[in-house]
């Protein structure tokens, strides 16, 4: 199975890059499934039902999120109805939406996507490691599902690496989101799980993690309230990874980082 995973979409330029490139990548590379983190897609803060519909129309099968999932209040009733839009699985019981879902590819393969949020320097949610254990206890990789992909939304690289090793051999891929900066450590762990600490963002890198630099810089220079942050609007780089799995075991054969357009060196 060939799986595309795209990092956090930030604002209009990031959305346009994803909407333009995902259909082409699916066609040219024969991709079976596309996952995108969309938690900053609405002008940098949250996501809307309209944006979800646009992404699905472009061929994105699953949209993951993170700590900005509730920034657009209209998404609360929507997320309770659309299992293609996930929120972190370790939110407290009773939170609207789903943290994991099993999807079926056009070839009839089943893929489990799990969205989890880590805790170092983040919101104090339920234990992400126990949440992962509980979800993986419902499925058998290579049997009940042909692939399992985990979007770990977190700040600290140490916690992300720990989650990768914790899941090694039990899932197809563990990919980090949230920092908006692509890391250079895409590899297959010893147990057969594809890993990357952070996929990076789909957005304008002539910015401060996707926000206009002229609005972000004063917050560090003056330590005073300033204008509300706004997403940068220049040419976007689509950042992510392509994972190829073994159809028999569900483990990863390879992971290749992906960067298209914008200001970063392409790969």
Q: Which of 53, 50, 34 is nearest to 42 (CA)?
A: 50
DSSP for the chain, please give it. Answer: -EEEEE--BBHHHHHHHHHHHHHHHHHHHT-SEEEEE-TBTTTTS---HHHHHHHHHTT--EEE--TTTTSSTTHHHHHTT-TTBB--TTSPTT-SSBSEEEEE-TTS-EEEEEEEE--TTS---S-HHHHHHHHHTT--BTTTBSEEEEEEE-S-HHHHHHHHHHHTTTSSEEEEESS-S--S--EE-TTS-EEES----BB-SSSBTTB-HHHHHHHHHT-S--SPP-B--SPPBEEEEEEEE-TTT--EEEEEEEEESTTSPP-
Phi, psi of 67 (to 5 degrees): -70, -15
Q: Considering the candidates 68, 139, 153, 180, report the single residue annotated as catalytic.
A: 68
The answer to whether 178 is a known catalytic residue is no
Distance CA 75, CA 23 (A): 25
Distance CA 163, CA 176 (A): 10
Kindly list the distances between the CA atom of residue 113 and the CA atoms of 102, 132, 172, 212, in Å, as whole numbers in the listed order: 6, 11, 10, 32
Catalytic (active-site) positions: 68
């Amino acid at each position: 199975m060939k799986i595309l995973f795209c990092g956090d979409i930030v604002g209009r330029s990031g959305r346009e890059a994803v909407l333009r490139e995902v259909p082409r990548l699916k066609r040219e590379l024969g991709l079976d499934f596309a996952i995108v983190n969309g938690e900053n897609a609405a002008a940098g803060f949250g996501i809307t039902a309209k944006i979800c519909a646009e992404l699905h129309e472009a061929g994105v099968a699953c949209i993951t999120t993170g700590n900005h999932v509730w920034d657009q209040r209209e998404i609360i009733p929507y997320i309770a109805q659309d299992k293609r839009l996930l929120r972190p699985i370790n939110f407290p019981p009773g939170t609207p939406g789903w943290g994991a879902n099993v999807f079926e590819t056009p070839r009839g393969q089943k893929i489990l996507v799990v969205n989890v949020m880590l805790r170092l320097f983040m919101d104090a949610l339920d234990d992400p490691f126990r949440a992962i254990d509980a979800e993986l206890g419902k499925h058998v990789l290579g049997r009940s599902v042909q692939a399992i992909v985990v979007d770990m939304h977190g700040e600290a690289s140490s916690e992300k690496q720990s989650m990768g090793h914790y899941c090694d051999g039990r899932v197809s891929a563990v990919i980090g989101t949230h920092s908006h900066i692509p890391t250079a450590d895409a590899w297959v762990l010893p147990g057969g799980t594809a890993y990357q600490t952070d996929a990076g963002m789909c957005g304008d890198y002539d910015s401060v993690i996707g926000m206009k630099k002229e609005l972000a810089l004063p917050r560090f220079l003056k330590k005073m309230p300033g204008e509300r942050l706004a997403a940068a609007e220049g040419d976007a780089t689509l950042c992510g990874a392509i994972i190829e799995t073994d159809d028999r075991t569900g483990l990863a054969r390879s992971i290749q980082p992906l960067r298209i357009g914008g200001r970063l060196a392409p790969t």
